[in-house]
Structures are given as C-alpha cells and as structure tokens.
Amino acid sequence: MQTLLILAAVGLFVFSGYSFGRAAGYDAGRRAGDIDAPREPSTVQAVVLVALGGVALGGGLLLSGDGSVRLPTPARLEELAGRAESVAVEKAGGSADAGG
C-alpha cells in the first residue's frame, strides 16, 4: 500500500510539473502565432496536484512506520485469527446471556 501511495504521489508531482510548464509557456506559444491555441491552463491545477501528491506521499510515509514493511508471517496470522475467534466467542456468549 505504501508503494502505491508513493507511486501515486510521484505521478501527481510529475503531472503537476507538466501542467505548470504548460501554464508558464502558454504566453510564449501565443506569441509564436499558434493558430487555434487552447484556452490558457490554470495554475491552480498544478497547485492542487502538488497538494494531492503531498497528501499521498505523507500517507505512504505514515503507513511505513519504522521504514520497513511488516509482512504477515503464518505465526502472526495464526495469532490474529485466534484473537478474532476469541472476540467472536465473547460476543456470542454476551448475546446469548442477554437473550436468555
């Protein structure tokens, strides 16, 4: 998940740089005499893309924790499954006591 968020952030940063470059070079293109030039791009688009990229990058870094990915091992999965089963049994016992 961290990798996907960081890749999304990189993509957003690249696209924002491209958008800002188009906005900055728009006047030069108009002076060159381009026929049927598109509407002037907005600088706000680049700012929003940078903000979204920052959020994605921050989320990826926040999820990384200590900098390493913690892969679930079979022992860890067994522990988690055992805890989930014990919670389910407690909830079922509590609802049986309340109903009877």
One pLDDT digit (tens) per residue for the chain, 100 residues:
777 877 888 888 888 877 777 666 666 655 555 555 556 667 787 788 888 888 888 887 777 766 565 667 887 888 888 888 998 888 888 766 665 5
Distance CA 40, CA 46 (A): 13
What are the CA-CA distances from residue 93 to residues 14, 39, 84, 85 (Å)? Answer: 55, 67, 14, 12
Same domain as 53, residue 12: yes
Same domain as 79, residue 59: no
Same domain as 77, residue 65: no
Q: Which residues of 37-54 are buried (b: 16+ CB within 10 A; e: fewer)?
A: eeeebeeeebeebbebbe
Domain count, the chain: 2
pTM as predicted: 0.44
Same domain as 61, residue 32: yes
